[in-house]
Amino acid sequence: MSDTDFIPQMRPLFGADERAELLSYLDEDGFFTEFKRTEAFEAEIARYTGARHCVVVNNGTVSLTLAAVALGIGPGDEVICPDYTMIATPNSVQMLGARPVFVDVEPDTLVMDVALAERAITPRTKAIMLVSANGRAPRAGIAAFEALSQRTGIPLIEDAAQSLGSWYDDGRTERRHVGRAGRIGSFSFSAPKIISTGQGGALITDDDALAARLRKLKDFGRSGGGNDVHDSIGWNFKFTELQACVGLAQMRQLPDRVVRKKAIWRRYAEGLAGVSGYRLFDHDLSLCTPWFIDGVAERRDELAAHLKARGIGTRTMYPPIHRQKAYDLPGDHPVAERIGRDGLWLPSMIQLTDAQIDRICGEIAAFYAA
Ligand SMILES: *Cc1c(COP(=O)(O)O)cnc(C)c1O
């Protein structure tokens, strides 16, 4: 790639390893639907995260819907969600007829504020959906949400879609992978995520009964493998072996990607240290893997246009969800509103070179120096 080629904000990376996995499957079998490769992929995610069970589904939105169904959430129930997140988080429960209730996030972590979450609880609240934004833990630690959940009996669901490769240090002897503090944790393997299967999602839990429920829910409510006996309602949210082949190859690359993502963030932090117009959100790299390079920019839209004209892609961060036309709710969430106004993701793909990062930082510095 030459120095003047367009640098996209994000692009998935697949290569020889994925190709070899797919070809070996095609030489061996032709059912395509989930089977041994999928089991191996689930086992790999369970091993990596330290969870007892992993159940994969076709994306990281229905994974949340299934988590909510498995926890007994239905029409009329309220689910507390952050106002700053990908819209899939609230939509996943909206699909069930449940009502997302939006709460502002912390200005430094972009994770839901636990005190505000507590204030939003009503007798109808049936779950708290915690999003570890870009791999981050809440300021008061995940322990604050666990304590809230214990005190109120309201289950915690972790939308850890952006957090594969990030850990919590919650004062235990061993750090825990993000997604393990909730009753159920959810991941996404959509194209921009740290590993991708094109589309895909995974649920992790340590609860045997919940894992069994999730497996039934994704397979028509079948009472046993391959039979047509149904003692409960279920749908079809199954995976495919082709996705699992890609996922197995991607999981082998995950440890290196974690190292590289951290190095990318560090290089940006150094390159932008003297640039006051763009401020990166901080990361504790000993625990957290920055999935996207996130920050707030003065004159954000002008900066994005300046970079685009110089062959550098960016992406504006999520607008506050309560203001999106899809919801259009009253509410005062100043942090989410500030991110919606000033937040800008910089190029964040795993294949980004140091020279490209230096060029991006140079262009940002030049924009603010002008
Ligand atoms: C990507 C993402 C999702 C949705 O995952 P899909 O696999 O695209 O359905 C949900 N929540 C968050 C926080 C995400 O970043």
Residue ranges of domains in the chain: 16-248, 254-369
* pLDDT bracket for residue 64 (50, 70, 90): very high
Which residues line the pocket of ligand 1, CB cutoff 6 A?
Answer: 59-61, 85-86, 88-89, 131, 159, 161-162, 188, 190, 201
Q: What's the rounded Cα separation, in Å, for the pair 46 and 30?
A: 26
Which of 232, 189, 181 is closest to 207 using CA atoms? Answer: 181
Q: What's the rounded Cα separation, in Å, for the pair 145 and 126?
A: 14
pLDDT of res. 154? 98
* pLDDT bracket for residue 260 (50, 70, 90): very high
Mean pLDDT of 41-56: 98
For the CA atoms of the chain, what is the radius of gyration?
21
> In percent, how much of the chain has pLDDT > 70?
98
pLDDT of res. 173? 67
CA of 65 to the centre of ligand 1 (A): 12
Higher pLDDT, 300 or 232: 300
* pLDDT bracket for residue 82 (50, 70, 90): very high
> In percent, how much of the chain has pLDDT > 90?
94
CATH number of 254-369: 3.90.1150.10
CA of 193 to the centre of ligand 1 (A): 9
Q: Are 62 and 96 in contact (CB under 8 A)?
A: no
pLDDT above 90: residue 68: yes
pLDDT above 80: residue 289: yes
Mean pLDDT of 71-78: 98
pLDDT of res. 370? 85
pLDDT of res. 227? 83
Q: Which atom of ligand 1 is closest in space to residue 63's alpha carbon?
A: 9
Instruction: Name the residue at shortest CA distance from atom 10 of ligand 1.
Output: 88
For residue 351, give both structure tokens: 């294949």
Q: What's the rounded Cα separation, in Å, for the pair 82 and 130?
A: 7
Mean pLDDT of 158-184: 93
pLDDT of res. 174? 81
pLDDT above 90: residue 80: yes
CA of 230 to the centre of ligand 1 (A): 30
Instruction: Name the residue at shortest CA distance from atom 2 of ligand 1.
Output: 161
The class level of CATH for 16-248 reads alpha beta
What is the distance, to the nearest Å, from the Cα of residue 240 to the centroid of all Cα atoms in its chain? 21
For residue 353, give both structure tokens: 């070179």
Q: What's the rounded Cα separation, in Å, for the pair 350 and 233?
A: 41
Return all residues near 161 (Cβ < 8 A) that are at least 6 apart: 60, 86, 88, 131, 186, 187, 188, 193, 201
For tokens 């890609």, what's the residue? 246
pLDDT above 80: residue 12: yes
CA of 187 to the centre of ligand 1 (A): 8
Q: What's the rounded Cα separation, in Å, for the pair 282 and 108?
A: 7
Q: Which atom of ligand 1 is closest in space to residue 162's alpha carbon?
A: 15
Mean pLDDT of 173-192: 95
pLDDT of res. 170? 78
DSSP line for 193-232: SSS--SS-EEEEES-HHHHHHHHHHHBTTBSSTT---BSS
* pLDDT bracket for residue 307 (50, 70, 90): very high
Q: Is 193 a catalytic residue?
A: yes
pLDDT of res. 5? 87
Q: What average pLDDT is seen over the chain?
A: 96
pLDDT of res. 231? 87
DSSP line for 57-112: ES-TTHHHHHHHHHTT--TT-EEEEESSS-THHHHHHHTTT-EEEEE-B-TTT-SB
For residue 303, give both structure tokens: 């900066």
Determine the Cα angle at 318 with ends 314 and 323, to 5°: 140
Q: Tell me the HSE value of 190 on the side-chain side, using a 13 A CA sphere.
A: 17
263-266: list long-range contacts, CB under 8 Å, 24+ apart.
264/290, 264/293, 264/348, 264/352, 264/357, 265/290, 265/293
Which of 269, 360, 358 is closest to 308 using CA atoms? Answer: 360
Mean pLDDT of 5-24: 97
User: pLDDT, tens digit, for every residue of 97-130?
Assistant: 999 999 999 999 999 999 999 999 999 999 999 9
Q: Which atom of ligand 1 is closest in space to residue 201's alpha carbon?
A: 7
Q: How far is CA 166 from CA 12, 137, 348, in A?
A: 19, 9, 16
Q: Which atom of ligand 1 is closest in space to residue 62's alpha carbon?
A: 9
Tell which phi-psi region holds residue 272, choosing left (phi > 0), alpha (psi between -120 and 50) or beta: alpha
- How many C-beta atoms lie closer than 10 Å to residue 287's C-beta? 15
Q: What's the rounded Cα separation, in Å, for the pair 297 and 341?
A: 9
Determine the Cα angle at 10 with ends 5 and 15, to 5°: 85
Mean pLDDT of 289-296: 98
Mean pLDDT of 217-239: 90
pLDDT above 70: residue 153: yes
* pLDDT bracket for residue 1 (50, 70, 90): very low
For residue 23, give both structure tokens: 């070809």
Pocket test for ligand 1, best of 188, 193, 289, 345 (most atoms within 8 A of CB): 188
CA of 86 to the centre of ligand 1 (A): 6
pLDDT above 60: residue 24: yes
Q: Are 176 and 158 in contact (CB under 8 A)?
A: no
pLDDT of res. 189? 98
